[in-house]
Copies of this chain bind each other. A is one copy, B any other.
Amino acid sequence: MIDLILLGTSGTIPLPGRPLSSVLGRVGPELILFDCGEGTQVSMRRWGWGFKGLSAICLSHMHGDHVSGLPGLLLSVANAGRVEPMDIYGPIGTRIVVAGLRVIAPRLPYEVRVHELTTSDGLDWNGTTIATLPVDHAIPCLAFRLDLARTRRFQPERARALGVPIEEWKLLQQGRSVTVDGRQVRPEDVLGPARRGIRFGYVTDTRPTSEMPEFLADSDLLVIEGTYGDPADAENAIANKHLLFSEAAEIARAARARQLWLTHFSAKLLEPAQYTLEAARIFPDTTIGQEGLTTSLRFDDEAAPTPSPGSTA
């Protein structure tokens, strides 16, 4: 399961009641943050997911509204007692910006490891895989994807049919082959078909690109910037390298995603919801983001917990 919360929805400028755009994810006890503008730590505190478990920060690009909250957040993570290393992922240029901002957070009780990325498919984080895709902004900018793979199901009836003694099932479950009466039995002989995992995609500060649909294919949730709602802002979207609501929705449709949350609204976009249909007519399961919007992405046959029955006394 991946829990996700939108910590803010503002682009460029943090507004009263509309913090800068940022997403916090949780897998087990560990947290991963996507972008960290001025005030992101305040939203994190408001929603109560904690700071100590934050082990990865993914920065889309080095514009202030996406990184200005970094030194304060690093200090709050230190105050929360973290001593384990923290990984920061971002595009070329991340190292010098983190170093500059750390002028006010030079000494931390944990190691900060900065990784400058371009295209990457294979970063391990806490049992998930982080992938990145360069997108089209005024400066180097990355889209991020987080995949939680699902193991294939072990099928005891097949193990039994192949004569594997029950005490050797665990080896097969661990991915090792065993030998039965001189025949090799491989894990794939006793595992069921591949199962769909969980995929989350985060795209901000970009024009649409041709690589996006494949990179984001079949996502359970996409959080995509929609700086402008009004189609009349198309020229601004092109000039400033941002997206219209309709363009974000087209990306979600092309990627065959399940859900879309829009975020990173222009300060001039006072009521984003008035443009909901601009997106929903293209991609129906669109939600206009707001601070605190939360979901839990689950494997397909994992039911959401039901409330425990109350006392009937």
Contact = CB atoms under 8 A, between A and B. Distances in A.
Interface string A244-278: 00000000000000000000000000000000000
Chain A interface bracket (under 10, 10 to 19, 20 to 34, 35 or more): 20 to 34
Given A100-B103, A101-B101, A104-B101, A42 B15 contact: yes
Nearest to A79: B13
B100 A38 contact: no
A46 interface: yes
Interface in A55-70: 62-65, 67-69
A99 B103 CA distance: 9
Contact of A103 (B39, B46, B97, B105): B97
Nearest to A104: B64
B104 A67 contact: yes
Contact of A104 (B12, B41, B43, B97): B97
Interface string A50-91: 000000000000111101110110011001000000000000
Contact of A68 (B13, B16, B45, B71): B71
A96 interface: yes
A284 interface: no
A14 interface: yes
A64 B100 contact: no
A107 to B, nearest CB: 12
Contacts of A103: 96-97, 99-101
Contact of A101 (B62, B75, B100): B100
Contact of A100 (B12, B14, B104): B104
A53 B138 CA distance: 29
Identical chains bound together, number: 2
A45 B16 CA distance: 7
Contacts of A62: 104
Nearest to A13: B76
Interface in A1-57: 12-16, 37-39, 41-43, 45-46
Contacts of A14: 39, 41-42, 72
A141 B43 CA distance: 29
Contacts of A63: 104
A60 to B, nearest CB: 13
A69 B68 CA distance: 8
Given A45-B15, A45-B16, A79-B13, A69 B101 contact: no
Interface of A: 12-16, 37-39, 41-43, 45-46, 62-65, 67-69, 71-72, 75-76, 79, 96-97, 99-105
23 contacts: A12-B79, A13-B45, A13-B79, A14-B41, A14-B72, A16-B46, A37-B72, A38-B38, A62-B104, A64-B75, A64-B104, A64-B105, A65-B72, A68-B71, A68-B72, A68-B104, A97-B104, A99-B100, A99-B103, A100-B101, A100-B104, A101-B103, A101-B104
Nearest first, the 4 A-B pairs at minimum CB distance are: A100-B103, A16-B46, A64-B104, A38-B72
